């Protein structure tokens, strides 16, 4: 049946048809073929060997003469853009195939396929495979359905050629299109002495929504937008002769032209702005707007960003906050890195908190003393995922007298309790350990917080150190940020030379071993609700968070995000580049696994958690997870040596 179609690969080798037949009988969808068809196919299959690191197929370049069926080993599939940036799309192991899409579409490979270990592949000739797909409804249904249900197998080369065309799959563009490519018009600027009336006429005539403002030397010193003209001139009844320098926003927020649009999106949402000046070599070459990004991406986080800012009541904010997973999902689907996904979560959740507390202050009136809402744990590290529990606290300026102290105590008790309840309604569960601003212990003046940290550092009791680590990830979430900055300054100075404290932290870091047995099997829960699963957060991610925190505190690194801590440590020479690279890869793989796992639970209507079943992982996912756990073991060995824990 197939002999007239079959062509063997130049390096391929013939093999015993029975070996192929036994393998196909246990592999979907071939095990659904009839006996005669399967036996005939087995006689016309060759085998080839690809050493680890071999690029088997190159995107947009390689013809696809065979369907590759992995008999042993594994491959990774990835995209590489013109700048060399890589987007990992999939890992495939024993029993999986690659090359099917190229054969069915009659096109070149749309992805790079590289062997990640020594790999053997059965080769099924292109014509024979097409004959099966065209004549056997079971194979046809299997492959055509799987292609139609996945965005991964779209023509990525075509997407790149039309990267500025609005499409639903715009998330890919966010991570690949340089900001400079979004500039549509030449730079438009005017002197700061221009009147607002003259500027408005100029903007209307040229159909632009913003105007850069120059000083007397022609240097850009600010920007005005059509919103400024409405809110600062019309709404406030200013004279139309008012010079631009009196209403402009300064300094101008800029972004490098070679930054990708995702970074522009994050900057706009973080700073609550809609215009960014694009820089190249210190010179502003244009302006990119939130509207440009929304056209590029379609269903953009910027849409939700605007919705959050527009809410003027708590009920509207509750509903809007629950839409966050819907804008994050496409980013995960399209291969966004875990660190980028958590950045989106962080910015949107920060905006929700900002709007919520602003509404609450409007309702309660101004506080008696300045305060700052502190974020800790995953919120403090900017590593939030789906439905992150609350970890927060409140710090306020030291009252001047007893009367002010009592007023502050009463005000912030009511403020914190209402804020926590509103956050629950927005979808953020209460902290089971009670680490929330509604807990009086974690709602204190600056001097009390300073004393807390002094005690934790100077008199480190093992159990208390274990419970206090979450507080060392604090960052300002809302209010007077100088209070958080002063506390961080005090802590940085206090930690200098505190080797006993660091040794306690190091001991805690190595106390939990990675969940791998002597025979490299996963160690899972033996009973209970999560029987036969492992806690990816507690056993895989916490050791990485702990390592990064310890090393950052020891070397005065003020950053709280895990990857930023590790990068700063590597840049300063406190850890090796090789150790940084391995830790980064272990962190990103586990976070990606966690995000996809939680997304599946959310879409199934279940509460997201961190317990995964190793049996549900592919062979290569298992291999990579074991590799990540091996990295954790090496980090723990590093700490044992550095802090002499074996002595």
Last residue of some domain: 242, 265, 297? 297
CA atoms within a 13 Å half-sphere pointing along the CA-CB vector of 234: 7
Mean of per-residue pLDDT scores for the chain: 83
In a domain, 5, yes or no: no
Q: Looking at residues 172-180, what average pLDDT do you find?
A: 68
In a domain, 165, yes or no: no
User: What pLDDT is stored for residue 106 in this prediction?
Assistant: 84
Q: φ, ψ for residue 223 (rounded to 5)?
A: -145, 145
Beta strands at 534-535 and 611-612: parallel, antiparallel or unpaired: antiparallel
In a domain, 403, yes or no: yes
Pick the closest to residue 44 from 106, 123, 118 (CA basis).
123
Q: Are residues 643 and 520 in the same domain?
A: yes
In a domain, 3, yes or no: no
In a domain, 6, yes or no: no
- Give the angle subtended at the CA of 545 by the CAs of 540 and 551, to the nearest 5°: 130
Q: Which residues pair with 222 in a beta bridge?
A: 213
- Lowest average pLDDT, out of 72-76, 389-393, 415-419, 494-498, goes to 72-76
Q: Please check the confidence at residue 161 and state whether its pLDDT lies above 50.
A: no
What is the crossing angle of helices 290-297 and 261-271, to 10°? 130
User: What pLDDT is stored for residue 549 in this prediction?
Assistant: 95
Pick the closest to residue 360 from 379, 373, 378 (CA basis).
373
Q: Looking at residues 323-343, what average pLDDT do you find?
A: 76
Pick the closest to residue 535 from 481, 471, 614, 475 (CA basis).
614
User: What pLDDT is stored for residue 137 in this prediction?
Assistant: 75
Whole-number Å distance between alpha carbons of 512 and 534: 13
CATH number at residue 280: 3.10.580.10
Q: Please check the confidence at residue 614 and state whether its pLDDT lies above 60.
A: yes
- 136 contacts 37 by C-beta, under 8 angstroms: yes
User: What pLDDT is stored for residue 155 in this prediction?
Assistant: 27
User: What pLDDT is stored for residue 438 in this prediction?
Assistant: 96
Write out 378-444 in H/E/C secondary structure. Answer: HHHHCCCCCCCCCCEEEEECCCCCHHHHHHHHHHHHHHHHHHHHHHHHCCCCCCCCCCCCCCHHHEE
Q: Are residues 419 and 541 in the same domain?
A: no
Local confidence band at 546 (pLDDT 50, 70, 90 cut-offs): very high
- Lowest average pLDDT, out of 25-39, 169-183, 267-281, 444-458, goes to 169-183
State the DSSP H helix or E strand holding residue 290, giving kind and residue range, or none if neither. Answer: helix 290-297
Long-range contacts from 152-161, C-beta under 8 angstroms, 24+ separation: 152/89, 152/90, 152/335, 153/101, 153/110, 154/110, 155/105, 155/107, 155/110, 156/59, 156/79, 156/110, 156/111, 157/59, 157/60, 157/110, 160/81
- Lowest average pLDDT, out of 89-103, 159-173, 239-253, goes to 159-173
Whole-number Å distance between alpha carbons of 472 and 560: 8
Whole-number Å distance between alpha carbons of 127 and 6: 7
Q: Please check the confidence at residue 28 and state whether its pLDDT lies above 90.
A: no
Last residue of some domain: 297, 323, 352? 297
Local confidence band at 152 (pLDDT 50, 70, 90 cut-offs): very low
Q: Are residues 331 and 435 in the same domain?
A: yes
Q: Looking at residues 405-432, what average pLDDT do you find?
A: 95
Beta strands at 392-396 and 443-445: parallel, antiparallel or unpaired: parallel
Three-state SS for 66?
strand
Rg, Å, the chain Cα set: 29
Last residue of some domain: 111, 129, 158? 158
In a domain, 7, yes or no: no
Whole-number Å distance between alpha carbons of 349 and 373: 14
Q: Are residues 422 and 550 in the same domain?
A: no
Q: Please check the confidence at residue 548 and state whether its pLDDT lies above 90.
A: yes
- Lowest average pLDDT, out of 15-29, 220-234, 375-389, 438-452, goes to 220-234
CATH number at residue 397: 3.30.460.10
In a domain, 173, yes or no: no
Model confidence over 232-265: pLDDT tens digits? 777 677 888 888 888 888 888 888 988 877 788 7
- Residues with Cβ within 8 Å of 621's Cβ and at least 6 positions away in sequence, in order, are 91, 593
pTM, entire model: 0.63
- 395 contacts 484 by C-beta, under 8 angstroms: yes
Percent of the chain at pLDDT above 70? 88
Pick the closest to residue 69 from 1, 139, 138, 154 (CA basis).
139
Local confidence band at 123 (pLDDT 50, 70, 90 cut-offs): very high
Percent of the chain at pLDDT above 90? 35
Whole-number Å distance between alpha carbons of 625 and 622: 5
Q: Are residues 409 and 281 in the same domain?
A: no
Q: Are residues 395 and 480 in the same domain?
A: yes
Query: Could you list the residue range(s) of the whole structural domain that residue 188 is in?
Result: 179-297
Whole-number Å distance between alpha carbons of 273 and 351: 12
Most confident of 264-278, 341-355, 437-451: 437-451
Q: Looking at residues 225-232, what average pLDDT do you find?
A: 78
Q: Looking at residues 473-477, what average pLDDT do you find?
A: 95
Pick the closest to residue 539 from 560, 563, 519, 511 (CA basis).
511
Three-state SS for 121?
strand
Pick the closest to residue 50 from 126, 128, 118, 147 (CA basis).
118
Most confident of 172-176, 267-271, 521-525, 550-554: 550-554
- 92 contacts 71 by C-beta, under 8 angstroms: no
Q: Which residues pair with 256 in a beta bridge?
A: 279
CA atoms within a 13 Å half-sphere pointing along the CA-CB vector of 515: 22
Q: Are residues 154 and 190 in the same domain?
A: no
Residue with more model confidence, 285 or 474: 474
Whole-number Å distance between alpha carbons of 317 and 577: 44
Q: Is the peptide bond before 512 cis (omega within 30 degrees of 0)?
A: no
Local confidence band at 294 (pLDDT 50, 70, 90 cut-offs): low
User: What pLDDT is stored for residue 308 in this prediction?
Assistant: 86
Q: Please check the confidence at residue 557 and state whether its pLDDT lies above 90.
A: yes
Local confidence band at 520 (pLDDT 50, 70, 90 cut-offs): low
Q: Looking at residues 497-523, what average pLDDT do you find?
A: 82
- 131 contacts 2 by C-beta, under 8 angstroms: yes
CATH number at residue 641: 1.20.120
Q: Please check the confidence at residue 319 and state whether its pLDDT lies above 70.
A: yes
User: Residue 605's CB: how many other CB atoms inside 10 A?
Assistant: 6
State the DSSP H helix or E strand holding residue 612, giving kind and residue range, or none if neither. Answer: strand 611-612
- Residues with Cβ within 8 Å of 311's Cβ and at least 6 positions away in sequence, in order, are 317, 320, 355, 359
Number of domains in the chain: 4
User: What pLDDT is stored for residue 156 in this prediction?
Assistant: 28
In a domain, 534, yes or no: yes
Model confidence over 1-24: pLDDT tens digits? 443 333 334 445 567 888 899 899
Model confidence over 44-85: pLDDT tens digits? 899 999 999 999 999 989 999 999 999 988 888 888 877 777
Beta strands at 55-57 and 112-115: parallel, antiparallel or unpaired: antiparallel
User: What pLDDT is stored for residue 514 in this prediction?
Assistant: 82
Q: Are residues 154 and 21 in the same domain?
A: yes
Please state the length of the chain: 647
Whole-number Å distance between alpha carbons of 550 and 552: 5
CATH number at residue 39: 2.60.120.10
Q: Please check the confidence at residue 491 and state whether its pLDDT lies above 90.
A: yes
Q: Are residues 435 and 507 in the same domain?
A: no
Residue with more model confidence, 369 or 321: 369
Q: Are residues 615 and 529 in the same domain?
A: yes
Handedness of CA 542, 544, 546, 548 (dihedral sign): negative
Q: Are residues 308 and 411 in the same domain?
A: yes
User: Residue 433's CB: how many other CB atoms inside 10 A?
Assistant: 12
Beta strands at 210-214 and 189-191: parallel, antiparallel or unpaired: parallel
Q: Are residues 77 and 198 in the same domain?
A: no
Pick the closest to residue 109 from 162, 55, 151 (CA basis).
55
Three-state SS for 74?
coil
């Amino acid at each position: 049946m197939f002999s007239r179609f079959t062509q063997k690969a130049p390096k391929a080798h013939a093999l015993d048809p029975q070996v192929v037949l036994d393998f196909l009988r246990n592999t979907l969808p071939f095990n659904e073929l009839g006996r005669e068809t399967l036996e005939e196919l087995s006689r016309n299959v060759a085998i080839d060997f690809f050493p680890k690191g071999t690029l088997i197929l190159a995107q947009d370049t390689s013809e696809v003469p065979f369907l590759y069926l992995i008999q042993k080993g594994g491959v990774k599939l990835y995209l590489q853009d013109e700048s060399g940036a890589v987007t990992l799309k999939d890992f495939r192991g024993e029993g999986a195939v690659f090359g099917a899409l190229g054969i069915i579409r009659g096109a070149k490979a749309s992805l790079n396929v590289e062997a990640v270990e020594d790999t053997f592949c059965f080769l099924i000739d292109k014509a024979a495979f097409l004959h099966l797909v065209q004549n056997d409804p079971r194979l046809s249904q299997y492959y055509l359905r799987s292609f139609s249900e996945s965005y991964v197998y779209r023509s990525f080369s075509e997407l790149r050629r039309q990267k500025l065309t609005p499409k639903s799959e715009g998330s890919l563009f966010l991570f690949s299109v340089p900001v400079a490519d979004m500039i549509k018009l030449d730079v438009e600027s005017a002197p700061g002495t221009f009147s607002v009336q003259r500027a408005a006429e100029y903007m209307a005539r040229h159909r632009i929504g913003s105007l850069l403002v120059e000083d007397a030397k022609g240097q850009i010193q600010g920007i005005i937008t059509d919103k400024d003209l409405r809110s600062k001139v019309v709404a406030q009844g200013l004279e139309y002769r008012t010079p631009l320098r009196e209403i402009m926003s300064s300094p101008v927020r800029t972004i490098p032209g070679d930054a990708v649009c995702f970074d522009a999106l994050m900057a706009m949402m973080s700073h609550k702005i809609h215009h960014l000046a694009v820089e190249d070599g210190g010179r502003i070459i244009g302006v990119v707007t939130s509207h440009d990004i929304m056209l590029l991406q379609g269903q953009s986080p910027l849409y939700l960003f605007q919705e959050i800012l527009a809410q003027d009541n708590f009920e509207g904010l509750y509903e809007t906050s629950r839409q966050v997973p819907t804008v994050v999902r496409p980013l995960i689907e399209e291969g966004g890195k875990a660190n980028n996904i958590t950045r989106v979560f962080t910015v949107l959740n920060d905006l929700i908190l900002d709007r919520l507390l602003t509404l609450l202050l409007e309702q309660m009136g101004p506080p008696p003393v300045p305060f700052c809402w502190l974020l800790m744990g995953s919120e403090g590290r900017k590593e939030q995922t789906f439905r992150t529990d609350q970890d927060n606290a409140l710090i306020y300026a030291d009252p001047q007298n007893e009367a002010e102290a009592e007023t502050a105590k009463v005000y912030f008790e009511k403020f914190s309790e209402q804020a926590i309840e509103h956050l629950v309604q927005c979808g953020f569960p209460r902290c089971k350990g009670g680490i929330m601003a509604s807990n009086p212990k974690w709602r204190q003046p600056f001097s009390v917080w300073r004393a807390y940290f002094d005690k934790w550092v100077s008199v480190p009791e093992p159990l208390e150190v274990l419970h206090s680590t979450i507080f060392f990830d604090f960052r300002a979430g809302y209010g007077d940020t100088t209070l958080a900055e002063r506390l961080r300054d005090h802590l940085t100075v206090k930690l200098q030379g505190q080797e006993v404290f660091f040794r306690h932290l190091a001991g805690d870091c190595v106390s939990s071993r990675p969940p791998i047995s002597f025979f490299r099997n996963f160690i899972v829960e033996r009973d209970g609700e999560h029987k036969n699963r492992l806690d990816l957060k507690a056993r895989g991610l916490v050791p990485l968070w702990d390592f990064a925190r310890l090393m950052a505190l020891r070397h005065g690194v003020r950053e709280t995000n895990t990857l930023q801590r590790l990068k700063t440590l590597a840049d300063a020479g406190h850890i090796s580049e090789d150790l940084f690279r391995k830790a980064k890869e272990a962190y990103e793989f586990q976070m990606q696994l966690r995000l996809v796992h939680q997304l599946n639970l959310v879409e199934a209507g279940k509460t997201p958690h961190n317990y995964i079943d190793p049996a549900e992982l592919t062979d290569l996912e298992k291999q990579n997870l074991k590799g990540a756990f091996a990295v954790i073991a090496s980090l723990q060995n590093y700490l044992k040596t550095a802090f002499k824990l074996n002595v």
